[in-house]
Amino acid sequence: MDQPRQETSYCPAPAAPAESVVVAGPPYADCLECGEPTEYGVATPGVVLCPVCEWQEAQRTACSG
């Protein structure tokens, strides 16, 4: 008999930050990893990464718990 297939997640989805403050540009902040312009304004607090470096960071930290 065919059983319905259940998708199992091995890693829980990361929780969204409680307070996410994004300041619109221009001027746009430079990425802290590669120096390319980001989509965040200069006044955005915290670590600011370009989309490519954000994706790479997410890959590095996925399931590393």
Give dist(CA 61, CA 49) in Å, integer.
15
Nearest C-alpha neighbor of 39 from the set 8, 29, 47: 29
Q: Rounded to whole angstroms, how far apart are CA atoms 61 and 37?
A: 23
Computed over its alpha carbons, how large is the radius of gyration of the chain? 17
Q: What is the pLDDT of residues 7-64, one digit of tens each?
A: 665 666 666 555 567 777 689 899 999 999 998 888 888 889 999 999 998 888 887 5
Longest dimension (CA), the chain: 61
